[in-house]
Chain A
Amino acid sequence: MEPYTLTLCEARKLLDQGDITAVRLAESILGRIRAVEHRIKSFITLRDETAIMALAEEADRLREKGEGGILCGLPIAVKDVLCTTTMRTTCGSKMLEHFLPPYDATVIEKLDAAGAVLLGKLAMDEFAMGSTSENCAFGVPENPWRPGYITGGSSGGSAACVAAGESLATLGSDTGGSIRQPASLCGVVGMKPTYGRVSRYGLVAFASSLDQVGPLTRDVSDCALMMNVISGHDPRDSTSVDTPAPDYVSMLQDGLRGVRVGVPAEYFGDGLDREVERVVRAGIAMLADAGAKIVEVSLPYTPYCVAAYYLIAPAEASSNLARYDGVRYGFRDTQAGSLLDMYRRSRSAGFGDEVKRRILIGTYALSAGYYDAYYKKASQVRTLLRDDFARVFRDCDLIASPVTPTPAWKIGDRADDPLAVYLSDILTISANLAGIPGMSVPAGFSGDGLPVGIQLQAAHFREDILLRAAWNLEQRAGVRGILPAVVEQ
């Protein structure tokens, strides 16, 4: 058995028992990366091997002394949207190709403090804008289950990396589904926590009222462990919430008796792939088998979430990305004669097409004469979507649904149709607009062998019930921790 196939919790147990060393684990992971990375392309920046091995050796020394945090010696990689002082942080953009942050994100500090061996920075859609990871300036990651197919996005590298066995766990970020959607398409567990549960300090901003950092892992127990590490209040993020995070690991194995699972009709509408529906319905039956009571619920404003999101998120993005002016960091066109020219030329050369498109939509939606019709209207619809969930969570404890309308598609297939790609986010966007937690759990495979996840959503700060339901589902779905047979070099 090769150590790279282990889950985080399994590896941790073997390290605790002295059956394996952090050095052996790191060697195995690096071997796997060498063998499959040329096909998967999940990394933008892979850390220097000597630096990785030095961290693993240090972890072994700490462990020998009985010290070290709860992730001591465990290899973990992160989406390249999180600031790291040890590695450049590109956000998948030419704009930040050479950006070396002057500070670490809070979640990076937490991983360091827990003793994780940070492997590198993962591919993503530029500035997290996209649902396929094709908008990455440094190469498009490929789905480990079928190279040539999309990983999903924007945390595509984070999902592919875990699915291919190149890391035991990863971090991603989710603004409209960017953790859950690639997790579903790559067959791994992914969680978007409640807005405010995890610090956004050092997460490069896309849409500040929607962004949240979360884990992608090979199974549900690992997801709970990662949530224990990254959750909590941070005075440096004034939107992080000052309520103590529970121990997510300890509550996993409680049964689902008395738990009400809502199934919203609106999430099973036109355009839902038959294979996806089959797998998800089977997953819901497994939750019932675990003791849950299935109830039909309705979220009538769901059909409006994409329209609201694709005004609100670009509006926030157009404001957040105004900071890339070539002055303090990022790409600068040094040939420009005037300051205004420098701004224009630096931004036009540094940003890719999708980012420009969203800046334009956002600027338009916020501009004089259109603010009320677009931004304000979308923010009012956001209230209706929030109210939808508040009402439904009086009748059920969590909601089960598909994550995406279809399994992964071929790279390039929807490249010229932005709206078609936006519409693929219809099942994940509402959670961000409402700020509630959501996760994707592998539930099975489509008839032609592509992974399909089931989405679970709950009320604010009920990650515990999501994880419990997910764990019970995982016990029955029979796809836990399966690695694809990636053709090696």
Chain B
Amino acid sequence: MKITREEVEHVANLARLELHPEEIGKITAQLDTILRYAAKLDELETENVPPTAHVSGQGNVFREDEVKPSLAREKALANSSSQNGEAFVVPRIIS
């Protein structure tokens, strides 16, 4: 096995996903199949190959640090299912 049930549970926790106990077996098997296939890359010697992260060939893009109009607060809050007109409201973090 490339990936175990325990690893899937660990990764799900990192990704903030909750998996039903009965679906973990199926997902583990599917991920295992995919990772086994990905192991195909090990056939290639890449020790001296630089990795590619982006392809446009551009460097940093700079701009002047100018104040410009930004999203109005009511617009920024409009899609939240819980807000009080000033901020997003979430369950209490510090008790």
Chain A residues with a Cβ under 8 A of chain B: 98-100, 102-103, 195-196, 209, 235, 238-239, 241, 301, 303-304, 306-308, 310-311, 318, 322, 325-332, 334, 336-345, 347-348, 351, 356-357, 359-361, 363-364, 367, 374, 376-384, 386, 418-419, 422, 433-435
Contacts and interface: CB of A to CB of B under 8 A. Distances in A.
A364 B41 contact: no
A344 B44 contact: no
Contacts of B56: 195-196, 239, 241, 435
A379 B75 CA distance: 38
Given A360-B31, A419-B33, A434-B55, A238 B17 contact: no
Contact of A380 (B17, B27, B51, B93): B51
A379 B16 contact: no
Contacts of A364: 3, 7, 11, 31, 35
Interface in B48-95: 49-56, 58, 61, 63, 71, 75-76, 78-82, 88, 90-91, 93
Contacts of A338: 91
Contacts of A418: 30, 33-34
Contacts of B35: 361, 364, 374
Given A329-B79, A332-B81, A379 B52 contact: yes
A347 B46 contact: no
Given A100-B79, A102-B76, A339-B90, A380 B54 contact: no
Nearest to B93: A339
Contacts of A363: 11, 14-15
B38 A307 contact: yes
B31 A209 contact: no
A345 B38 contact: no
Given A100-B79, A241-B58, A209 B44 contact: no
Contacts of A379: 51-53
B41 A359 contact: no
B30 to A, nearest CB: 6
B84 to A, nearest CB: 13
A381 B39 CA distance: 12
A-B CB proximity, top 9 nearest = A435-B55, A379-B51, A329-B79, A380-B46, A196-B56, A238-B61, A348-B18, A382-B52, A332-B81
**Interface of B, helix, strand, loop or mixed by DSSP:** loop
B11 A360 contact: yes
28 contacts: A102-B75, A102-B76, A209-B54, A238-B61, A239-B58, A304-B43, A304-B44, A307-B37, A330-B79, A334-B82, A338-B91, A339-B93, A343-B16, A351-B17, A357-B31, A360-B8, A360-B11, A361-B34, A364-B3, A367-B11, A367-B14, A377-B42, A380-B51, A383-B51, A384-B46, A386-B52, A419-B37, A435-B55
B46 A377 contact: yes
Contact of B49 (A102, A310, A325, A383): A383
A265 to B, nearest CB: 19
Given A209-B54, A348-B17, A435-B56, A307 B82 contact: no
B45 to A, nearest CB: 10
Nearest to A100: B79
A356 B35 CA distance: 15
With most chain A CB atoms within 10 A of its CB, the pick from B33, B75, B81 is: B81
A327 B61 contact: no
Contact of A347 (B11, B16, B41): B16
A307 B40 contact: yes
A348 B34 CA distance: 21
Contacts of A332: 80-82
B52 A383 contact: yes
With most chain B CB atoms within 10 A of its CB, the pick from A103, A303, A342, A361 is: A361
A357 B30 CA distance: 8
A98 B56 CA distance: 34
A100 B30 CA distance: 34
A383 B44 CA distance: 12
Given A342-B90, A361-B31, 19 more contacts: A102-B78, A209-B53, A209-B55, A304-B43, A307-B38, A327-B90, A328-B79, A331-B81, A332-B80, A344-B16, A356-B27, A360-B31, A364-B11, A364-B31, A364-B35, A379-B51, A379-B52, A380-B46, A383-B49
With most chain A CB atoms within 10 A of its CB, the pick from B16, B35, B79 is: B16
Given A209-B55, A327-B88, A360-B12, A381 B79 contact: no
